[in-house]
């Protein structure tokens, strides 16, 4: 059985604090074959009525470059998870800490494994008018230790050359390695002539093995209009970071208006001068 959903639908459900709340929303664990590592979940009932909660585990993977997720309840990896408690009731406003253990078989190959820990409650138990389930997730990014590779490739980089306000740039990153890595990237806006950066931003994105992910973000903007050089430095796991540069013409709205007014003023002045000569 395969269940597909957007990653944001799960994280937002826990982050907004409506009804059932689960934390942490994401954890990374490094575990050697033949060993176990424990963790802890905090489950909170933020309603004013009791609720019954059930915990379960499903393996997940990405299904497109936007990183929508597919969840598989039945897999060998799910069997690695053991909860200290799977069914319990939370009173109104009550929180409960639940321990879990991830046991990696001695025969497990090195690489990334990805498990979602779900907390589920029936809304009818909290007095809801419609019988539906609320389901929130804590995602586990597990690295089975051994001979690991994190091989990133920059597949594409798209950035606008004419910018008048808030604008996005995007890139596609591939990971052909055996486990996930964080691609740390920096965007710096440099003057056409001279050194130094007028604006910059830094962020990172997790890239799972065997996937291509589209990452987008805002272009940092300078204060004044002009022609600038935008320098992108992008982390690629085990490989050296790649640096790409693009040219950008920055014309904010106020500068366009000012330019139009200036041109209109010049044209009006020329017309008046021409008329005065005729008279």
Q: Sorting pLDDT into bands at 50, 70 and 90, what band is 264?
A: confident
72-106 residue pLDDT tens: 999 999 999 999 999 999 999 999 999 999 999 99
**Per-residue pLDDT averaged across 21-29, rounded?**
95
Integer CA distances (angstroms), 217 to 202, 243, 268, in order = 10, 17, 43
Q: Where are the beta strands (DSSP E) in 146-196?
A: 152-158, 162-163, 168-175, 181-191
The pTM of this model reads 0.81
Q: Which residue has the higher pLDDT, 273 or 257?
A: 273
Q: Which of 48-52, 180-184, 209-213 has the lowest mean pLDDT?
A: 48-52
Q: Sorting pLDDT into bands at 50, 70 and 90, what band is 247?
A: very high
**Per-residue pLDDT averaged across 269-273, rounded?**
76
117-172 residue pLDDT tens: 999 997 554 455 555 578 999 999 999 999 999 999 999 999 999 998 899 999 99
Q: Sorting pLDDT into bands at 50, 70 and 90, what band is 191?
A: confident
Q: Which residue has the higher pLDDT, 158 or 278?
A: 158
- Which residues is 249 bridged to in the sheet? 162, 227
Comparing 3-144 with 152-253, is the CATH topology the same?
A: yes
- Given this model, what pLDDT does residue 124 score? 54
Q: First and final CA of the chain: distance in angstroms?
A: 89
What CATH number labels 3-144? Answer: 2.60.40.10
- Given this model, what pLDDT does residue 76 score? 95
Distance CA(225)–CA(254), nearest Å, equals 10
Under 8 Å between Cβ of 11 and 116: no
- Given this model, what pLDDT does residue 8 score? 37
- Which residues is 57 bridged to in the sheet? 117
Residue spans of the domains in the chain: they are: 3-144, 152-253
What CATH number labels 152-253? Answer: 2.60.40.10
- Given this model, what pLDDT does residue 12 score? 36
- Given this model, what pLDDT does residue 275 score? 74
């Amino acid at each position: 059985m395969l269940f597909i959903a957007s990653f944001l639908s799960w994280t937002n459900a826990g982050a907004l604090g409506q009804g059932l709340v689960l934390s942490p929303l994401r954890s990374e664990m490094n575990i050697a074959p033949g060993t176990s590592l424990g963790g802890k979940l905090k489950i909170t009932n933020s309603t004013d009525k009791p609720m019954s909660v059930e915990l379960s585990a499903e393996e997940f993977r990405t299904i497109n470059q936007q990183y929508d997720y597919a969840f598989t309840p039945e897999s060998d990896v799910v069997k690695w998870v053991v909860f200290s408690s799977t069914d319990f009731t939370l009173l109104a406003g009550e929180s409960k800490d639940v321990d879990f253990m991830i046991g990696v078989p001695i025969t497990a190959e090195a690489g990334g494994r990805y498990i979602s820990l779900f907390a589920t409650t029936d809304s009818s138990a909290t007095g809801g008018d419609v019988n539906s389930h609320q389901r929130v997730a804590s995602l586990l990014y597990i690295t089975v230790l051994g001979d690991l590779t994190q091989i990133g490739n920059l597949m594409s980089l798209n950035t606008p050359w004419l910018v008048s306000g808030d604008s996005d740039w995007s890139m596609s990153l591939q990971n052909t390695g055996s486990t996930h890595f964080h691609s740390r990237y920096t965007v710096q806006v440099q003057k056409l002539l001279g050194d130094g950066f007028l604006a910059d931003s830094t962020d990172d994105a997790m890239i799972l093995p065997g996937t291509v992910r589209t990452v987008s973000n805002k272009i940092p903007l300078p204060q004044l209009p002009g022609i600038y050089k935008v320098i992108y430095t992008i982390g690629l796991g085990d490989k050296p970071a790649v640096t790409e540069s693009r040219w950008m013409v920055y014309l904010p709205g106020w500068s366009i208006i000012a330019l139009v007014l200036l041109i209109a003023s010049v044209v009006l002045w020329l017309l008046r001068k021409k008329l005065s000569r005729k008279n």
